[in-house]
Structure 1
Amino acid sequence: MSAKPRAHPPHTDDTAPLMGNKPVRDFTLPSTGGTTFRLSDAKARALVLYFYPKDNTPGCTTEGLGFRDLHTAFRKAGAQIYGVSRDSIRSHENFKAKMNFPFELLSDEDEKVCQLFGVIKMKNMYGRQVRGIERSTFVLDRDRVIRREWRAVKVPGHVQEVLDFVKAL
């Protein structure tokens, strides 16, 4: 089962992760396809931002394939999907092509958007503590307000749970 959504703490300042019932601050990130993604330009009824640790790793590939396989259903529900990680655009372009993703991947190499959403965490990798992205998904509405978030996501069943939520919006 997917991770449980968290209650939203109040937003206190511009450096704290933005959660709650306020619109997410506008941001831009380099995107696959040679474009730049700007949050304020996204006009879908729902926006799915899924943050994942690294291109071409087992869990991230499985999660991406889940979003790929249900992409048509997300589109019918009025949602746009974007994957976000710290990988470079070059890495993203290769990953997207290899996996035939029909959605764009966004590159956050400087971690500004990852920090905005509070997804950078200390993780245990092979007995060592390292900074990395905690697998997380956010659904934003047309007004860029976070309607639901999932943290510490377990991949099996997660994409379907997100789709079910989007359909119920």
Structure 2
Amino acid sequence: MTLSALRGQQVVVYFYPKASTPGCTTEGGDFRDRKPAFDAANTVILGVSRDGIRAQENFKAKEGFNFALIADKDEEICRMFDVIKLKKMYGKEHLGIERSTFLIDADGHLAQQWRGVKVPGHVDDVLAAAQALNAQSQNKGRA
């Protein structure tokens, strides 16, 4: 799948650190639960992490996610969106995904980005932005 194949639809690409961890499960569940509203706003949801395909498939099945999860083990997509950052955990530094979300408009242009995301309330913010962008694009089509 490529972003160009989704032209004509808005796309949310959200990056999460690791499948089946508490914050990532909550965030994915929030996107899952609001997917009908994203669909109504002409918006596709894609989740990306460095986990392998099997981990992604298991995570998606276990949590009933109704959108695609992308395995980016080689970090190609992560590097394109510049989400690999130096992080600290338990006093040790390591490179990992900075929880980030990107909203791409129906023409394939970056419309909005959220970096260093805190999970509570985040998906609602993304949904509001997607709805506003969709309404704006529909109004342009009528002009």
For normalisation by structure 2, the TM-score amounts to 0.91
C-alpha contact (below 8 Å) 1:44/1:79 kept by paired residues: no
Q: Give structure 1 regions of 4+ aligned residues with deviation exceeding 4 angstroms.
A: none
Quick check: 1:113 aligned with 2:77? Answer: yes
Q: Distance in 2 between matches of 1:95 and 1:55?
A: 6
> Counterparts of 1:94 and 1:134 in 2: how far apart (Å)?
22
Higher helix share: 2
Instruction: Verify: 1:81 aligned to 2:45, yes or no.
Output: yes
What RMSD in Å do the two structures reach over aligned CA positions?
0.8
What stretches of structure 1 of length at least 5 have no aligned partner? 1-36
2:8, 2:92 → 1: CA distance?
41
TM-score, normalised via structure 1 length: 0.77
Q: CA deviation at 1:127?
A: 1.1
Match of 1:131 among 81, 92, 95: 95
2:8–2:107 Cα contact (<8 Å) kept: no
Q: Whole-Å Cα distance in 2 between the matches of residues 121 and 67 of structure 1?
A: 24
Q: Partner of 1:161 in structure 2? A: 125
Contact 1:46-1:79 within 8 A present in 2 as well: yes
Structure 2 unmatched ranges of 5 or more: 134-143
Task: Report the identity percentage.
Answer: 55
Aligned to 2:11: 47
By how many angstroms is 1:42 displaced? 1.1
Between the two proteins, the alignment pairs up a number of residues equal to 133
